Amino acid sequence: MSRRSRSRIAASGLRRVPVFAALGDETRVELVAKLCRGRPRSISQLTEGSRLTRQAITKHLRVLETAGIVHGVRAGRESLFEFDPKPLEEARQYLDLVSEQWDQALARLKRFVEG
Q: What is the pLDDT of residue 111?
A: 92
- The pairing of strands 70-75 and 41-42 is unpaired
Domain ranges of the chain: 3-114
pLDDT digits (tens, 9 = 90+) for 2-58: 677 666 666 666 677 889 999 999 999 999 999 998 889 999 999 998 899 999 999
What's the pTM? 0.78
Looking at residue 52, the DSSP 8-state letter turns out to be: S
Using alpha carbons, list the distances in angstroms from residue 73 to 7, 42, 49, 85, 90.
34, 10, 23, 16, 23
Distance (Å, rounded) from C-alpha 100 to C-alpha 107?
11
Residue 17: partners with Cβ closer than 8 Å, 6 or more residues away: none
3-114 topology per CATH: Arc Repressor Mutant, subunit A (1.10.10)
